[in-house]
Amino acid sequence: MLVLGLDPSLSCTGWGIVRVEGLRLTHIANGQVATDAKVPMADRLNHLYDAIAAVIAAYEPDRAAVEEVFLNKNPQSTLKLAQARGAVLAACGRAELPVSEHAARLVKKAVVGTGGAEKAQVQAMLKVLLPGAKIEGADAADALAVAIADAHLTPR
């Protein structure tokens, strides 16, 4: 089973795909989709949608997992995150992928063992769980963590 993990953000959305075979995880691919802050919002969201739709078409995952939205102190940041998340979820919906949502603390706990883990701890654990994987950046690492957490948390 292929699981697509997604870490939505308007500035840079991370994605990562792992193969799940029983308890075994194998890295398939990962990447990041950046948008230009100077471009109108509708165009940025369309770019995210198209890029994630292309990833889905290329790798044909069986399911997707997305980090749940969290509230920022800045309402504008929360709104932008929610819009990016909507574009990503729409791409999954168009492809008829089942989508699970996981809280950031639960993702960290599933990958590292503690919900209060720092990003560096998550990235170090990814190297252990997915040896040899070339991770394209912090957002791609977060997306791979979401995919791994989904593999551990979602009943098959």
- Catalytic residue (choose from 67, 101, 142, 150): 67
Q: Assess whether 62 carries a catalytic annotation.
A: no
Look at residues 115, 152, 116, 7 and name the one whose alpha carbon lies nearest to residue 69: 7
**Torsion region of 136: left, alpha or beta (phi above 0 gives left; psi -120 to 50 gives alpha):** alpha
DSSP 77-110: HHHHHHHHHHHHHHHHHHTT--EEEE-HHHHHHH
Q: Assess whether 67 carries a catalytic annotation.
A: yes
Look at residues 130, 1, 119 and name the one whose alpha carbon lies nearest to residue 67: 119
Contact 119, 67 (CB under 8 A): no
36 among annotated binding-site residues: no
**Torsion region of 22: left, alpha or beta (phi above 0 gives left; psi -120 to 50 gives alpha):** left
- Catalytic residue (choose from 96, 139, 142, 150): 139
Q: Assess whether 7 carries a catalytic annotation.
A: yes
142 among annotated binding-site residues: no
Cite the annotated binding site for Mg(2+) by residue number.
7, 67, 139
Catalytic positions: 7, 67, 139
Cite the annotated binding site by residue number.
7, 67, 139
